[in-house]
Structure 1
């Protein structure tokens, strides 16, 4: 149980079979509190609603209260998230959803408890329902075509906020996949968004990026710093530096934040909590103040993203600290969280989390395929083991399930999340290019095609789908017949095409590179010639 639980008056249970068994035995509904270490509103709800003697007594007597760390239990988050954290979710003993909300004050929670208790007394299990995304688990299949990329280009333009940058007219999230998609297709909007992010979300004093801004104009920033957000933006700014050197500095600063502030003994820490008062101090006062606490949990998937970002920063900018951090992170990840291709979700001291979660498998595989391109084929064998485990254990039909079909609540219901299917497809595509195995490429294609029937309904939040579809249909591959870290290899890594795959140290005529774009190949023998050819396409 997290440390904040002791500050409440609620008798919390851990997520698991015991809590659901108790609910059945007591004939009582479950209150599931989904929270995160970095979440300001979660701490506020602990201090108010859950610290209220009346609320706590009602909860303890009439409900089975369960507390869930959403970073440690991503599959629970995916099924029960009410649109933000904290999520206050009411379940039947079988795990079906009765109702839910996000943050509630003491009075609001008291009223909801009364309504739920009444509904339960009147209807029992019939008060529950299964969310639509779990009832309709099969995605709409279709054919991969350039229409997918063209649709997303239109979405990028239509949803762009011409006044303030970014996408949408509500809260502004730094949508890294949308920016990376736009870098080569709509660079003006991509760079304007990067400028807004650098101006409003970058901590210029301590490094790192805040999670998002509440207001359309990027005001009222939420100051938590999560590993996945910072990894995504580190990679995106490094990718942008391929096209404009001015974006190198934010990438380097964020890489340094990852390898110092978020570095832990076993990998990269999950997050640093938000604190508006602290981040509002001038630098001289911040130096003397206690910085917000860090959650040292090592999350496998987020560590995979961080390693990938550090490798991109080294590849484009040549930052040696990023390279060392990536190599150290890879070794720690494989030593402590990967066994025979199976990835453990987290480790915190001697405590380890669930294994084989699709997002973890996909993100760690993506880190390893990046490592092969930048550091060499020593990382190829573990990549293949992870790929084979994922295909054998998580693939069902033409797409992938988010985890094993077992567990408490609705965890036994299959879920085929588009985002993580895209991530595994992208990693398998790269692995296919690096190994020459057509099977990986074909599985990547089939996975994407499993969702293609809905491509014209997808928004910018899943721009990565269009990016990966374009790569699979007509990607850029560069096979380098030169040693690692040679001028030709370095040139291949930082070409103006962040979607290319580099195959290092291949057999062939010495100091040459074969560039294949949309099936057409060209041989070059000098770094400048390589850059000119790719830039001219």
Structure 2
């Protein structure tokens, strides 16, 4: 590779941008300096948006941006700007939409060509170094775009204006005002059912991405109504994802998406946001369905974080991502196996090797990698009973054998060079992983997960929170910007922490964060924007407001904001907080029919707002074993749209209670109270009676 050329990336804390500094392209960071230079020199901007975990970003870096001839072409014809999508989600969101409108494609690497004012007039994703895959070579694209700008600049600017108008119309179309209703929820659930893949689980066709929001919505539907098809969709999807190659069968945790309909062959990067929300849904599903596989899968996510960054975990944080591969020519080699590698790892143990082949589908061509069919993704093809039948041994012996095989394969994989782990501390993603860990503590009994989550949340609110500005996007870097998703995801986790611990500090911190949310991110019309209107000088497309409602890729900021407000109102009985949530939901109600499957978290928030909310109150002394048993039962039993509070007997007259409970609640304990909407059940004093009440009582 050529020697490093002049670049402004050297001061960046982003691993992706630091790698770009070593390239011969004269990269600039996103900012006014780059746009001022483009205007001064009347050059178009080449915008490269990627991430450290992105395989095709590494490929394009190696093939094009590290190529001296291509770099020379870029430096002569363009003002090159490199952006880390994890570091700048606001930039990525806007230009993803622009390139999708231009080319019908989105994803990473995102390659966009902008006017000096920041308007996109041409773009795509990955461009090869020569004509292949039905795509033009990148040098040919560079020359043609430069020619158009030089000879037909008016046409390029006209195209940019047209795209901007389309994007404005699209943004408005996603935020059509209306009134929320139960009909909106019913229609969305019906649409999800119609898109369900009855053969392989999940929704739609390949490539398949996890949709935790949709599964959470359907799990709640089953618990509310007993609708068996909703349970089937949830169970079959969780089974398929947990058994497939999407799930790391040796190390735990989930890869980003599957390239096939069966969830077998993934893109191998592991993302904090995916693992946080998937841990939460597996924990809830275990509480509701009691399938031990869900407990195993969820516990595996917790173990993955303990294993991949133990020092970071102890310091109160979770990593942002783990890379898919070691280098640009790597096709998931760390994660995949040949039959010879399996035999070597098991040291010639023929029965163990045969068990591994049966268990992990190593004789299934569908699990082969595309570039090297001899390499296989491990998935759960057979259970212990079936393996035992094939090997003519008892199921218990087969289970012991498979556990030993898994341990030995994991140890062998641990000796391989490990894909890069990005330990950048992004507040919102830490919030999502913390929420998942709190769910694991609550429903899976993983106290270690709860302790890790509380450490992380405490660190966030100590090191990244400013009462006037909110949470910084990156811990320890107040200049990193403040984004909606950071405030909402962490506020949600703070409410989870409060319910788990009943410590007032977590509720007060959630209130403080919600105040910032309303003061800095709220529009007069009810919606929330992804970045504060007054923060920094908006350059390029950042001048345009963006109101995220689609779950792409993490749960949408507006939907989670509404959920936070609804939960906070249920806990504190603040009428204005509840009204503010309804205003936010109404802001998108007219668009909801077109967004259902892509905006499942929004539909969940509408469900919270339009169906009765349950309040569980436990009254009893901390030292009373019966009171502790009641509280643990309330924690471990998952019930939709429920908030949980615990009071000592002397606090009943002084603490916030639902109006329906004020006359009923007694200072005598231990007692458990359940109100659904305005209807309250008779109090109970035994854990078994409370569990039955929580599972069966409806208004």
Q: The TM-score by the shorter chain falls in which range?
A: over 0.9
Residue deviations 1:75-97, cap 9 Å, x none?
A: 01110124111111111111111
Structure 2 partner of 1:308:
435
Aligned partner (choices 5, 8, 19) of residue 4 of structure 1 = 19
Q: Shift in Å at residue 289 of structure 1?
A: 1.0
Q: Shift in Å at residue 335 of structure 1?
A: 1.5
Is residue 357 from structure 1 mapped to residue 517 from structure 2 by the alignment?
Answer: no
Contact 2:316-2:452 at 8 Å conserved across structures: no
User: 302-311 vs 461-470, which deviates more?
Assistant: 461-470
Structure 1 partner of 2:235:
191
Contact 1:512-1:523 at 8 Å conserved across structures: no
Structure 1 partner of 2:694:
534
| Number of positions where the alignment pairs a residue of Structure 1 with one of Structure 2 | 535
Aligned partner (choices 86, 90, 103) of residue 109 of structure 2 = 86
Q: Secondary structure in 2 aligned to 1:279?
A: coil
> Matched residues in 2 for 1:204 and 1:383: separation?
36
Q: 1:359-398, aligned counterparts within 5 Å? A: 359-376=485-502, 377-396=504-523, 397-398=525-526
Aligned partner (choices 663, 670, 677) of residue 511 of structure 1 = 670
> Matched residues in 2 for 1:199 and 1:14: separation?
42
- Unaligned segments of structure 1, at least 5 residues: none
> Matched residues in 2 for 1:523 and 1:40: separation?
58
Q: Shift in Å at residue 158 of structure 1?
A: 0.5
Residue deviations 1:471-499, cap 9 Å, x none?
A: 11222222222456822122112223244
Is residue 258 from structure 1 mapped to residue 305 from structure 2 by the alignment?
Answer: yes
Question: TM-score when scaled to structure 1?
Answer: 0.95
Q: Secondary structure in 1 aligned to 2:590?
A: helix
Residue deviations 1:97-128, cap 9 Å, x none?
A: 11211111123212221232233221254342
Structure 2 partner of 1:32:
47
> Matched residues in 2 for 1:390 and 1:317: separation?
32
Structure 1 partner of 2:184:
148
Structure 1 partner of 2:166:
132
> Matched residues in 2 for 1:182 and 1:29: separation?
47
The structure richer in strand per residue is 1
Structure 2 partner of 1:343:
471
RMSD (CA atoms): 1.9
Is residue 67 from structure 1 mapped to residue 106 from structure 2 by the alignment?
Answer: no
Aligned partner (choices 298, 318, 335) of residue 425 of structure 2 = 298
> Matched residues in 1 for 2:496 and 2:304: separation?
21
> Matched residues in 1 for 2:621 and 2:270: separation?
38
Q: Which one has the largest radius of gyration? A: 2
Is residue 181 from structure 1 mapped to residue 204 from structure 2 by the alignment?
Answer: no
Change in CA separation of 1:36 and 1:352 when aligned onto 2, cut-off 3 Å: farther
Structure 2 partner of 1:44:
59
Change in CA separation of 1:386 and 1:189 when aligned onto 2, cut-off 3 Å: same
Structure 1 partner of 2:288:
243
Aligned partner (choices 452, 470, 487) of residue 629 of structure 2 = 487
> Matched residues in 2 for 1:133 and 1:516: separation?
46
Is residue 100 from structure 1 mapped to residue 115 from structure 2 by the alignment?
Answer: no
Q: Shift in Å at residue 171 of structure 1?
A: 0.6
Q: Shift in Å at residue 393 of structure 1?
A: 1.1
Structure 2 partner of 1:434:
571
Question: TM-score when scaled to structure 2?
Answer: 0.74
Q: Shift in Å at residue 170 of structure 1?
A: 2.1
Q: Shift in Å at residue 306 of structure 1?
A: 1.0
Structure 1 partner of 2:460:
333
Q: Secondary structure in 1 aligned to 2:424?
A: strand
